[in-house]
Amino acid sequence: MRGMSLSSPPWVVPLNTASATPVYVQVARGLAARIEGGDLADGTALPAERELAGTLGVSRVTVRQALALLAQQGLLTRRHGSGTFVHAPAPERAPRPLGLLTGFSDDIRSRGQTPGARVLGFECAHPTPREVMTLALSPTDTVYRVRRLRTADGEPLAVEESTLPASVMGPLSEDDVTDRSLYGLLAARGLSPVRAVRHLRAVNAEPELAGWLGVSPGAALLATERVSWTADGRPIEHARAHYRGDRYDFVMELHGGRTG
Amino acid sequence: MRGMSLSSPPWVVPLNTASATPVYVQVARGLAARIEGGDLADGTALPAERELAGTLGVSRVTVRQALALLAQQGLLTRRHGSGTFVHAPAPERAPRPLGLLTGFSDDIRSRGQTPGARVLGFECAHPTPREVMTLALSPTDTVYRVRRLRTADGEPLAVEESTLPASVMGPLSEDDVTDRSLYGLLAARGLSPVRAVRHLRAVNAEPELAGWLGVSPGAALLATERVSWTADGRPIEHARAHYRGDRYDFVMELHGGRTG
DNA sequence: GAGTGGTCTAGACCACACA
DNA sequence: GTGTGGTCTAGACCACTCC
């Protein structure tokens, strides 16, 4: 018994009943932190719901609500009749992080590779009719258009073409986009996208694209088109990209609602 | 009072407490049927939870469990302090459908087309090493494997192969997957996925796939792989699909909030 | 203030897993 | 059989919305 109070078991979590955040959320967050922090190893069995409830001083229903939340997030697995087990996000189980609201550079870095860019074209022009639609512009507005070959560890991976409204973006030069993350630049100017709609298709490579990417004409490419909006609801970017099908794997995680 | 018993209000649902299916699932299914059948129009306010509980003769907690299920599926919207409202899947409300936690059938319907399926293969077998990993199985477990040609308005659109653990899924026959939505079947058994990880790549069509899909060998296909989990954290499906690149456009919406 | 959903409790019984 | 999660109950208080 000596010294046990110095380190409480990993499923003991501080609770504040006076707090505005519900107790079951506090329990869930506490356990999630212990799981992600490695205090609760993968496969570990949690105490029984009744015991956990007693230890934490809450009702079993509250514990169940917390556990349901974590199971929904994939951090726990519940097996009727045998118990509740930790399902830690082991690095080797999630070989690649998720393609989310990030730009190419972050995406590649999160795969453990080094992103690069080579500018193929830079212009300041009027928007195409399509860009007028997607970026909510008038035909007389001006836009920046950047075309870059994107590389991962020096190998060609994608050709990316971005269009940004000059009115929202502010001044932009070719140097700004050479070997720099466009999303990083947007963030530096307080224009980080908070919402985006992205389309994905599969296309056969045209000769010009095939040449840039180092694949045979006709090779399968993942074609994406994305429109991003800033927090105040203005469109900030219309990006079109063609990824090498043999080197790029788009990953996403989808969640349903919550139990409540 | 005369004649009222002839047509009960649309939220009154038959219950069988002796049945093996939980009461809250019965309530949810009953309401879902009335919503999808049009008896409960879009925007309609449901009776208060306490009232619904009294009418149905169950506790409020049970009602809440049913409503949570439906809200999770997007059939209801709950507004704290004002009420619970029907959120019928109106086709015109979603001008741009999003590829989300839905199956092929819902996906195609939301595009205004009619989904179809032709079973190419059905088997009950042991999992492959890869399936052992992704579905957290042991090599001696049994899985159902379904391979189907999926059509939209009668035109071939994708070849889809799903693997489902027999232990979680329960009995499954070939008839269950002929011209039926697999996700619909999962929902009917209370196994709706609440979380999924999906990979997308672009590949060139192999001759066999090309034949099924009616494209030339080498045509670009959108290859997706998806693992779905139920609310209790058990993997329920490992699906691999190849979509025609010229006919399918995967759309998703990303938000800045949290995604994982 | 009246009515709504959101949270929480303390108990009970059932169904499943494992020895 | 014993212990586990799954379901269900009757009642309570809080927080929010709307009048």
Q: Please count the other Cβ atoms lying within 10 Å of the Cβ belonging to residue B235.
A: 23
Whether the per-residue pLDDT at B215 is higher than 60: the answer is yes
- Residue A182 has, within 13 A of its CA and on its CB side, a CA count of 29
The DSSP element (H or E) to which A138 belongs, if any, is none
A21 with A50: CB under 8 angstroms?
Answer: no
Using pLDDT thresholds of 50, 70 and 90, give the confidence band for residue A4. very low
Chain A residues with CB under 8 Å of B202 CB are 202-203, 220-223, 243, 245
Whether the per-residue pLDDT at B125 is higher than 70: the answer is yes
Most confident of A52-61, B94-103, B133-142: A52-61
CA distances from A132 to A37, A165, B83 (A): 47, 10, 41
pLDDT per residue over A119-146, tens digit each? 998 888 898 888 888 887 888 888 899 9
Footprint of strand C on the protein (CB under 7 A): A 22-25, 57-62, 65, 79-82, 260; B 20, 46-51, 60-61, 64, 78-84
Query: In the prediction, which pLDDT does A88 show?
Result: 74
Q: Is B247 on the interface with A (CB under 8 A)?
A: no
User: What string of DSSP letters covers A203-227?
Assistant: EEPPHHHHHHHT--TT-EEEEEEEE
Chain A residues with CB under 8 Å of B249 CB are 199-201
Q: Is A68 on the interface with B (CB under 8 A)?
A: yes
Greater confidence (B152 vs B169) lies with B152
Query: In the prediction, which pLDDT does B100 show?
Result: 64
Q: Please count the other Cβ atoms lying within 10 Å of the Cβ belonging to residue A124.
A: 12
Using pLDDT thresholds of 50, 70 and 90, give the confidence band for residue B36. confident
A157 CA to C11 C1' in angstroms comes to 61
Q: Is B219 on the interface with A (CB under 8 A)?
A: yes
* CA–CA dist B247, A203 (Å, integer): 11
**A203 contacts: CB under 8 Å, gap ≥ 6:** A220, A221, A223, A242, B202, B220, B245
Query: In the prediction, which pLDDT does B60 show?
Result: 94
Whether the per-residue pLDDT at A92 is higher than 60: the answer is no
A147 with A161: CB under 8 angstroms?
Answer: yes
**DSSP character at residue B230:** -
Using pLDDT thresholds of 50, 70 and 90, give the confidence band for residue A95. very low
Lowest mean pLDDT among B104-113, B173-182, B187-196, B248-257: B248-257
* CA–CA dist B129, B135 (Å, integer): 10
Footprint of strand D on the protein (CB under 7 A): A 20, 46-51, 60-61, 64, 78-84; B 22-25, 57-62, 65, 79-82, 190, 232
Q: Inter-chain contact A204–B199, Cβ cutoff 8 Å? A: no
- With vertex at residue B224, the alpha carbon angle to CA B164 and CA A209, rounded to the nearest 5 degrees, is 170
**A141 contacts: CB under 8 Å, gap ≥ 6:** A126, A127, A165, A166, A167
pLDDT per residue over A181-193, tens digit each? 787 777 767 677 7
Whether the per-residue pLDDT at A218 is higher than 70: the answer is yes
Query: Which of the residues A107, A110, A224, A254 would you substitute to probe the B interface, choosing the one with the greatest number of B C-beta atoms within 10 Å?
Result: A254
Q: Rounded to the nearest 5°, which phi and psi values hold at A29?
A: -60, -45
* CA–CA dist B72, A171 (Å, integer): 45
Q: Is A25 on the interface with B (CB under 8 A)?
A: no
Residue of A nearest to B230 (CA): A72
Q: Which residues of B129-167 are buried (b: 16+ CB within 10 A; e: fewer)?
A: eebbebbbbeeebebbbbbbbbbbeeebbbbbbbbbbbe
Query: Percent of chain A beyond pLDDT 90?
Result: 27
User: Exposed, middle or buried: residue B222 (CB in 10 Å: 0-12, 13-18, 19+)?
Assistant: buried
Delineate the domains of chain B, giving CATH numbers in brackets: 23-86 (1.10.10.10), 104-244 (3.40.1410.10)
Whether the per-residue pLDDT at A221 is higher than 90: the answer is yes
Whether the per-residue pLDDT at B52 is higher than 90: the answer is yes
Q: Please count the other Cβ atoms lying within 10 Å of the Cβ belonging to residue A83.
A: 13
Whether the per-residue pLDDT at B50 is higher than 60: the answer is yes
Q: Please count the other Cβ atoms lying within 10 Å of the Cβ belonging to residue A39.
A: 15
Chain B residues with CB under 8 Å of A260 CB are 68
A44 CA to D1 C1' in angstroms comes to 25
Query: In the prediction, which pLDDT does A260 show?
Result: 33
Whether the per-residue pLDDT at B240 is higher than 80: the answer is yes
Q: Take residue A224 and report the two structure tokens written for it.
A: 């994406």
pLDDT per residue over A17-65, tens digit each? 777 888 998 999 899 888 888 888 888 899 999 999 999 999 999 999 9
**What nucleotide is nearest B64 when CA is compared to C1'?**
C5
Using pLDDT thresholds of 50, 70 and 90, give the confidence band for residue A198. confident
* CA–CA dist B55, B52 (Å, integer): 5
Greater confidence (B225 vs A88) lies with B225
Q: Please count the other Cβ atoms lying within 10 Å of the Cβ belonging to residue B40.
A: 23
Residue A34 one-letter amino acid:
R
Q: Please count the other Cβ atoms lying within 10 Å of the Cβ belonging to residue B208.
A: 10
Residue of A nearest to B249 (CA): A201
Chain B residues with CB under 8 Å of A198 CB are 251-254
Whether the per-residue pLDDT at B200 is higher than 50: the answer is yes
* CA–CA dist B26, B12 (Å, integer): 11
